[in-house]
Structure formats: structure tokens, C-alpha cells
Chains A and B, each alone.
Chain A
Amino acid sequence: MTPPFATPLPTTTPHALCGDYGEADGIHDEMKAADGTIRPHWQLFGQQLDAMGPAEIARRWSHGQRMIQDNGVTYNVYGDPRGMDRPWELDPVPMIVSASEWADIEAGLIQRARLLNAVCADLYGPQTLLTQLGIPAELILGHPGYLRPCHNMPVPAQRYLTLSAVDLARAPDGRWWVLNDRTQAPSGAGYALENRLVISRALPSVFRDCRVTRLAHFFSRLRDTLRAMSPRVGENPRIVLLTPGPFNETFFEHAYMARYLGFTLAQGDDLTVRDNKVYLKTLGGLRRVDVILRRLDDGYCDPLELRSDSAIGVSGLVQAAWAGNVAIANALGTGLLETPGLMPFYPGLCKALLGEELKLPGVATWWCGQPKELAYVIEHLHELVLKPAHPGAAARGLGGKVIDAVFGDTLTQQQRTEMIGRIRERPEAYAAQESVNISTTPVWQDGTLMPRHLMLRAYVAAAEDAGGYIVMPGGLTRVSNAADSRITSMQRGGGSKDTWVISDTPVSTFSLLTGETGAQVTALSNDSFDLPSRVADNLYWLGRYIERGEGLVRLLRAIVGRLTGDAQPTAETDLPMLLTALDAVTVAKLGKKPEAAAELTPEQRVLSVMFDPQSPYGLADTLTRARRLASIVRDRVSLDTWRILSQLDREYQESEAELTGTPPNVAPLNMADMTDVLDLLNRMVITLAAFTGLGTESMLRNQGWRFLDMGRRLERAVNSIDLLRAMTLKPTGHEGSVLDALLEVMASAMSYRQRYLAVPAALPAIDMLLLDETNPRAVAYQIAQLAEHLDRLPRQSTGDSRRGEDQRLVLNMLTTLRLSEPARLAETGGGDVRDALAFGLSALHAQLPALSDAITRQFLSHNAVSTRLGQPVAVMAPALTTSADPEND
């Protein structure tokens, strides 16, 4: 029962979350005014929060957090003990800005984007800023981010900034100030979108009633702009999002944005430059790239002409841009504008370049490259924030870390002296800013609202027809992690918030757009979804690891089932065989004799394979690899698929901690209850089946699917052959029960009983598990599927009309299987070993790795390593001084 907007809520609200929220203390609070009242644009939200109460909020928020986890929203923090993929920190209480205030911010942001674009165009062109407008040359020409190879490079429409960001903070007087500019490859827009998605789902009615401005429009405009930048007019442009790769802190966002905008996610290795044009290396060959939305910093974009100490970029990219064959957003060289050293000059430059007063003030900044400013900074360092004006040079030294800001008041006397020494050594590399008492906003903590400092990152995109730029209505709000901390960095443990721009008057003209329900993020269509070879490789291995995991889980379940009391009476005979099979698919793969394993009890062996990360081919290792790969190709797997993997991981991690009493990734020391282990394995079988189901039912039958499936088929064939070799070669007196176990592990028990209605016998079982192409668990079925995939994949046309090596191998295997006589395979031929079967299986066992290698060579080896050529040193020896030198005579 949502109350209509105009009706005040009952005054007998049972909760007083907002009322109890902090006292004003001279700092501007976003929600509460100095007189203790709730600001108008927060009132509706506050009432709804109070009406909901702490318990309900907590309940809803646990859903929100689950969503973050399931969607795999992560942020990589270097050196974090939790390692990669740290869950994204989001607060359920949004940051709220009124529409009227936002209009001012918006106008200021648009002006700033125009100004910075003009500054960039001048610095990379005529340089009148330096020759006429008094910008110190040292600040620009001494800046390592001034890319000389990009000077005078043609930039279409002089558009240097396509997507930029500004960090804003509010001072005690209520004004918003600019703290930083992010001009080359700003991060966070994707997180802002994901935050919106989570909050709007966790608090749907609040979100609806508060009439929050939607974000989707901003992204579709950005996409239009990027499309229009393509140098090939009239062609459907191919746009890639260039990422540094999965180890980058915001890789999640790169994949998310690529998927959302319908661009291909590419690493430097996926691109190549030929004939001054940029190409994407796909399975089908090279595909022309028209526009690059980069998340790679300037200097790393081209190892040939820019920073040569890194190979993550695209060699030849600068020349391709010079030739006008590719559009890069933002233009190369724009990182220069991130220096705080330029901030003090913007009011003057705004007048000179735009003929306007600067609307959005920058926080007071002193660039130390000027003597007066230097003197001021040295004298007032204790009350300023010191920042690097040249990147990297920065604050290195205090604890050996590079940090982006040093708060002068946190320095000891000795540190301050040391810092001043550093500044004096290279004054041009530093700038200092006024330390602003930035505003606070409520965050949700243990059932109450607590004030935290905030910084708002706002985003501006170029738009063809909207006066040049449009602003994302909202942005990424970041909050400090403690009440007294002013640092709002995700890298250092702060949190984030959704940002709502809402109308603060009931009679607003704001309309709830018809047909738009909630903040559904509609993925924009993607029309350029080429499959880079690297991604195909990753999908192939993801398929292999998932299948390996499933094979292991099935085998382990069969073993544990026999270890827990309710096992079949046959356990005595089939358990040893199953344990042999377990060795065959794990330790034996390393070529080790499973001697050490023999000393362990069956329970210990099971637990080791399940939980010991050191266990070769063990479950822990396999799942880690699968998850790692899935996170790299997350722009290629569906959200549901991703969720299943998350769930699998969670089930496993939680059970591991419970069952072994040890934290994750520590080898279990004590015995766990086998019934609980069985329970976990049962759940995992179901989750893995869900993965397979989604794979088969909801993935497009495209090349990506083929590689994922080829990986699965190949791995299943390998696994099945290992099992068959372990359990069928030497028949025992109790073969029926062993075969029964094997049929169970290979998920064919039911099919067998339906067909034969009898205790398993060797001949039909071998036929069913090895040769039967109608049984999706049989080896022959896997090989037949592989053959079909390989025939359907695109091949670069060569003069050679013969089948590829991979096709010949798979055909050979398939033919051998088809020509096999089941009766002969089942024979023991007088001895106690099935010789023909042993021979056939070991041939297959050897051919499968060869096939995998052939597939890699055929499709996946485009990504040869790029290296720098050795450079000739100028080594001329003294040559003139010992000779007759007419000049010196």
C-alpha cells in the first residue's frame, strides 16, 4: 500500500532512522539541514525509509548484496588479501540531488567539458595557451603526459573528449567544487549503471515513487556519438572497448560496458595494425575496427611510438590515427588534462577561450612550478592537500607508495620536512589544493544511518546535436569508509552509492514515462559481436574446466555415496575400483604413482581431492580456473550462466569452511561428516547440470558456443576414457557391480537399465559407454560432436583443399570407433586383460591431447607474443682526438 505522493505519511511512523541521524557540526550534510530538518528533496525518501524500518531495510539489502555477488560485480584491488574480484561495495541509501540543483551542476559540467576540449585542442595544435595566454611551458612541455607524437595529429571535429568525468565535492557553504578532472579513460560510469540496477531492484517502490531520472538515455547517446565517429561513412561501424585486461582494477566494468553498449571487448593483443588500419583478430580472420573506446591510459596505447616499456597496447595505433583510419575516444594525449596544475588557470582560460565566466569553480589550487605559489605551499603545507602535477613523480616516498593525495595535516614534522625537500627538488611536479571540509551523507550501517564524506563523480559525453555535450543524470557517489576519513577511494576501501537526481517539488513537470517500468537496464543491441581468437581460447578452456569439474563431482559422489553407511552391499568390490579411477583422473595425470594417496583413508583422499588447492587436477584447482576464465570472458557468457558459476563457487566455499573448519584454500586437516560432503556433491551436480542446461538452451549457436562446447566434449572424452581404462580393462569376479558404478559415474545407469533391464554386463556396457553415438555420455558421441564443430568453424582459405590437421585427427578417431566391434573389445582373449579394449583406449588417450593441440594451432594461435626489437646503441668510440683534426689545428 504505497501512499500517493501528495499524502503525508502517518506521523506515527514507528521508526526514526532519519530523525536519529547525526547532528549538524558545521559541515554540510546532504540530507539534514543545519536546523535539523530533512532537506525537501530527501523528505519523501526519508519517510519511506522510516516507514520501512531497519529490519525491512536489512532484509531488502541482503537481497541487494546477493545481487551484487551473483552478478559478479567486482573491483580488483592490488595487494588485497582477498585477491582478485573483490565484491563491489554499495550502500543501499542513494545520494539524492534535487533537479534544480542538478541543472546548475549540469550547465557547469558541460561548460567544463567544452573548456577542457578547447584547451586540449590548443595544446596539441597551435599552443597559443603557451605563447599568448600565459600557461607555463614547464607545466605542459615538462609533463610526461604531453604526447609529442600526437601534436598536430588530425582529430576529427576537434573532439578530444568523448567521455570525461569530474569529481565534485560540496563545501560547507553548500557550493559544489571540482576536485579532479578525469579526461582520458574515466572509470565508474559502468559501476554507476550497475548501482542503479541493484538499488532500483532492492527498493523498487521507493525508486518508483521518488521519480528518479533514468540513466539509459545517456548511454544510448554516448553510443550514437561513438558510432558517428567512425571514419568509414555509410558502413556499419565496428567499435571495440580496449581494456588493459582482467588484472585491471575495473575490469568488471570494461566487460559490463562492452556488453551493455554492444561493443567488442578487446585487449591490445586482440588488435593489430596493417596498412595503417586497425583490425580485430577474429576466428574468421581480421576485421576492420573503426572506433576504439579506450580504457587504456594514453602512454600505454602504442608501444611503438608511446611508452616503449609496455606491450599491452596496439603497435602502430598512433600512425593509424594519423592516417585518419581509426577514431579513438578519448583522443590520445588527453590524459595531460588530468593534472591539477592546470586548475588555477581555468577561470582565465574560460574567459579567453569561451568568453564565459567559469560556472563550476575548481577547488583552490597552487601549482608549485611558480615561485610565489611554491612559497605559499611550503608555508601552508600543513593545511593543504598535496597532489602530483606530473603523474607518478608524485608523493612517492611516504612509505614507498605512490598515492594520489597527501593530506598535509596528517604529516609529522619530519615527514613534512621530507616532503618539502621533495617539492623543492622538482617543484613543477607538484600542486597543492585547499583541504575542503567536504559534505556528508547518510550511509546504512548496522541498522542506523551514519554520516560519511562523499565525492560525486559526474560524467559528460559528447553528443552530436545537444550543444556538444550531455551529462549523465546522476553519477558515481563514493563515500569514505570511516566518519573521520576524507578519502573516498574505492582502491582504499571506501564504498559507493547510487546517485538520484529527483524533482523536489510535488508539482514538477517530471513525468513518469509510460511503459518504462523501473530502471530496467535494457541491453542495447549488439551488432558487432565478433569473436576474438583470445576469447575463443578462453571459452574453450572454460568448457574444459567446467566439464572436468563435473566429471570429478560425479565420481566423488559415487565414492562418498559408498562411504556413507547407506551404501550398497557391493561397496567392498566397487569402491577400490572407484578410488583407482579417482587417482586416474587426478594424481596419475601428473605421471605420479599414487603411492602417497594409498596411505590415506578413502575419506582423506576424497577430502584432499575436493578441498586441497594443491591437489593436482583437484576440485579446488579446477573450480578456481573455471571461475578465473569465466571472469575474463564475462562479456560473452550470459548473466544467468555467470550466476550459476557464482552459486557453484559459493556453495563450494561455504561448505568448505563448514565441513573442514578451515578457511578457504587451506588444506583440510580434520575429518568432515561424509553425509554433509555427499549433500554438497549432490547440490553441485545439480548446479553444474544447470550450467550445461543454460549452455545448451540459451546460448546462441555461434562460434563462441562451439568453442565452449568443444572444450566440454574434449574433456568429457578424456575423462570417460580415463574411467573406462581404470574400471573395465581387468574384469573381476564382481564385474556387474563395478560396471554399475561406472554407469552411475558416467550418468548412463538409467539408460542402461531402460535398454537392457539386467545387471550390467561388459559387452553392452562398453558398447553404451564407448561406441554408442546416441548416448550423450559415450566417447563416440563426444568425438562425433567435435567432428561436427570442426567442420562448421570458419577456416582461412588456403590453397590446400585438404582437411585440416584437426579434422583429420578427429575423423581418424571417429572412424576407428565406428569400425570397432563391441564383442572383440569385450573379450579378454584368454588372459585377464581386455587387450583389444586396452589398445583402443590407449590410442584414443594419446590422440585426444594431440587433437586439442591441433585445435589450438588451427584457431587459437593468432596471439603470438609481441616484443620490442633491440635498439642499436650509439657506441661510437673517441675517434678524433688521436687523429689529425684539421678543425682543431
Chain B
Amino acid sequence: MRYRITHQTEYTYAMPVSVGHNQVFLRPRDLPHQHCVEHAVNVEPAPGISNLRTDFFGNQTMLFTVQEPHTRMLVTSISEVDVTPRQPPPPGISPPWNRVREAVRKDNSPAGLAALQFAFNSPQVAMFPEATEYARQSFPEGRPILEATLDLTHRIFKDFKYDPTTTTISTPVQQVFSQRSGVCQDFAHLQIAMLRGLGLPARYVSGYLRTFHNEDDPKLIGADASHAWLAVYAGSGDPAADGWTDFDPTNDLVPGEHHIAVAYGRDYADVSPVKGVIIGGGDQTIKVRVCVKPVESQG
């Protein structure tokens, strides 16, 4: 399936901004089941300078500076991505979770280290005992890790309510847990905290989701948003796979052809789609428009 994704972020300022430094994570990753065919980011006003860099987690990031006074900045990212169906490993035959926990701590290979770093606290996700306790119910000793994670995903979906009015960008995971509500980003952070609390590496995935509303309904164009879910590390048993399996607690499923991954990080703070620091500006408003549209593959 090929998707054409338009992701616009628009800032308007009450007063002129003299200079703005920005960093974006907008380019969909190239993965075994996903190929970014085309990608372009357009910024208005045009940045004085723009740099590409590959970050610690292998994401492509763009850093740019708008150096002329402006009261509005529009960042438009257009990507075309091929996503092929993938077979998630059958949950029942994955290794016992407690063995994964031990093995990853003994694995000094670069891949092992790359996984282990996702087992620690990170800027926005701190483990806490209540979350670990909650998770433990799905993780009896010896249970296959993916089966247990799927169960946990299902319980979060069941026990937590989607409600964008109850959280903001800075709501701590602990509060999400106690109030039992939040948005996709909060659920991803929460499940990551739970898995890490059990000693398992879990990473944050920032991306998009294809929705199935009527694509010709003009009211719904741009009604999409960026999405977030997580992945758990089940060990590098299979050399063809990297050992990571995605889970989407907001939708209670294992992501497949309708999820487009953009960036991996320890949490949102590592891969925020658009961030920046401006000089001046006064009050600001932000508007985000996302459109994920299936297109005919060129062949």
C-alpha cells in the first residue's frame, strides 16, 4: 500500500519573531516493511539555513533556522511511503519475558546495547511501582513476551479512556495512570513505563495512522493527527527481524499496513515532530493538519 502523507504545522505569533531555531522529525523511516519513496519539507518563510542529520536512534532529523522577522511559520511535510503487510511473530511462541529481560542485559553486541538503552528511565517516562504492579498481572513468570504485551495492550485499551481534554504535552505518566485517561501519546508512554518497570526495553514510535472515514468528505480532510504507539524488544532470536514488535494501545492491536512509522525514540521528547525556540513572538498559536491518503502505487 502506498500512502501520500501531508503533515502541516502552522505557528502564528502575536508579535514578530526575529529568529527561530527548529528541529523536526518528519521523514518516515525506511524499514523492512516500509519504504519512504519521496519526502520533502517546505518551510515558510524560507529558512536561512537547513541541516540534515541522522540521530542516535537512526532517525533523520532536519534542523533549520528562520532568520528573518516573521509572524507566521508554516512547516509542510509531504511523504510518499510504501508499506507492505508484515506478519507479526505469533505471540504464543515468543520467548518468556523474564528470559528476554536477562538476555538483553548480557548482550554486549551493538544491537543488544541499542535495545537495552530503551529499558531505562527517559526524559518523559519515569517508571513507577504502581504501573509496574498493574503490568505484572499480564506478566506471570514464563509467559511469552508478545502474548503478555498484547494482553497488557488490551487491558490499557479497556481500562483507559481516550479524552484529549484531560492531558497536555507535559502531563506526567503517573497522572495519566491515576486519572485513567489521555491520548495516544499518553497511552504509549504509560505502556512503555510499565514494560520498563518489568525490566524490558520499550521504545516510543511516532508516526501516522490511516483512517477510514470517507476520504471525499471535505469536512474530514485534515481531521487526522499524528499518531504514537510503542514497540517492545523480544530478543534477537530471528536474524531477519530486529527483535522489535509494535503495539498500539490506543487501538488495541499490533500495527500492520495502516501504521506508518516516522521516528523511534525513548519517548516523545526524543522525536517530537516539530520543536523550536524563538526570540520574540509573544503569544503563539499552533495548528496541525495531517492527511494520510492511499494512492495508486506507480508500479
Contact = CB atoms under 8 A, between A and B. Distances in A.
B280 A274 contact: no
A873 B168 contact: yes
A323 B250 CA distance: 40
Contact of A151 (B18, B20, B56): B56
Nearest to A317: B21
Interface in A418-461: 425-426, 428
A507 interface: no
A285 B192 CA distance: 48
A141 B113 CA distance: 8
Contacts of A316: 21, 63, 65, 277
SS class, residues of chain A in contact with chain B: loop
Interface residues of B, number: 71
A311 B209 contact: no
Contacts of B209: 876, 879-880
A149 interface: yes
B164 interface: yes
A867 B51 contact: no
A303 B51 CA distance: 18
A304 B113 CA distance: 26
Interface stretch (B37-45, B115-123, B138-146, B234-242): B115-123
B295 interface: no
Contacts of B188: 874
Given A315-B21, A868-B275, A873 B183 contact: yes
Interface in A262-297: 272-276
A144 B277 CA distance: 22
B33 to A, nearest CB: 12
A124 to B, nearest CB: 10
Contacts of B167: 873
B31 interface: no
Interface in A88-117: none
Contacts of B274: 869, 871-872
B5 interface: no
A141 B116 contact: yes
B23 to A, nearest CB: 6
Interface in A860-889: 864-881, 883-888
A149 B266 CA distance: 13
A272 B258 contact: no
Interface in B248-299: 250-253, 256-258, 268-270, 272-281, 284, 286, 288
A66 B286 CA distance: 57
A127 interface: yes
B55 A149 contact: yes
Contacts of A881: 251-253
B245 to A, nearest CB: 15
B51 A276 contact: yes
Contacts of B120: 138, 141-142, 428
Taking residues whose C-beta sits less than 8 angstroms from the other chain, chain A's interface range is: 35 or more
Most buried by B among A132, A138, A866, A876: A876
A864 B280 contact: yes
B133 to A, nearest CB: 13
Given A866-B278, A880-B253, A872 B116 contact: no
Nearest to A277: B49
Interface in B107-137: 108-110, 113, 116-117, 119-121, 123, 129
A127 B117 CA distance: 13
A138 B116 contact: yes
A876 B117 contact: no
A425 B117 CA distance: 18
B51 A878 contact: no
A130 interface: yes
A879 B119 CA distance: 29
A101 to B, nearest CB: 41
Contacts of A492: none
A21 interface: no
A272 B55 contact: no
B71 to A, nearest CB: 14
Interface in B3-56: 9, 11, 18-23, 48-49, 51, 53, 55-56
Nearest to B269: A308
A753 interface: no
A880 B22 CA distance: 33
B227 A874 contact: yes
A793 interface: no
Contacts of A874: 183-185, 188, 206, 225-228, 268, 273
A814 B65 CA distance: 44
A130 B113 contact: yes
A132 B108 contact: yes
Nearest to B107: A137
A827 interface: no
A136 to B, nearest CB: 9
Contacts of B113: 127, 130-131, 137, 141
Given A131-B113, A304-B23, A864 B279 contact: yes
A887 B258 contact: yes
Contacts of A142: 117, 119-121
A311 B164 CA distance: 28
A735 interface: no
B22 A274 contact: no
Nearest to A313: B277
A275 B188 CA distance: 37
A879 B116 contact: no
Contacts of B257: 886-887
A885 B258 CA distance: 9
Nearest to B11: A869
B218 to A, nearest CB: 19
B49 A276 contact: yes
A272 B19 contact: yes
A15 interface: no
Contact of A149 (B56, B227, B272): B56
Contacts of A870: 11, 169, 284, 286
A148 interface: yes
Contacts of A883: 211-212
Contacts of B164: 875, 877
A825 to B, nearest CB: 44
Given A149-B55, A867-B277, A869-B286, A878 B49 contact: no
B85 interface: yes
B76 to A, nearest CB: 14
A322 to B, nearest CB: 7
Nearest to A884: B212
B299 to A, nearest CB: 22
Most buried by B among A308, A428, A872, A888: A872
Nearest to B250: A878
Contact of A875 (B9, B225, B278): B225
B67 interface: yes
Interface of B: 9, 11, 18-23, 48-49, 51, 53, 55-57, 63, 65, 67, 85, 108-110, 113, 116-117, 119-121, 123, 129, 162, 164, 167-169, 183-185, 188, 206, 209, 211-212, 224-228, 250-253, 256-258, 268-270, 272-281, 284, 286, 288
29 contacts: A130-B113, A137-B113, A137-B116, A138-B119, A148-B56, A303-B277, A319-B51, A322-B53, A426-B121, A865-B279, A866-B277, A866-B278, A867-B278, A868-B276, A869-B11, A870-B284, A872-B226, A872-B273, A872-B288, A874-B183, A874-B188, A874-B268, A875-B184, A875-B226, A876-B183, A876-B224, A876-B250, A880-B209, A881-B252
Q: Which 5 pairs, one residue from A and one from B, show the smallest C-beta to C-beta distance?
A: A142-B120, A876-B227, A148-B56, A869-B276, A141-B117
Given A275-B48, A866-B277, A877-B225, 19 more contacts: A138-B119, A148-B56, A274-B19, A275-B49, A303-B277, A319-B51, A322-B53, A323-B51, A866-B279, A869-B277, A870-B286, A872-B288, A876-B183, A876-B225, A877-B162, A877-B164, A878-B162, A887-B253, A888-B253
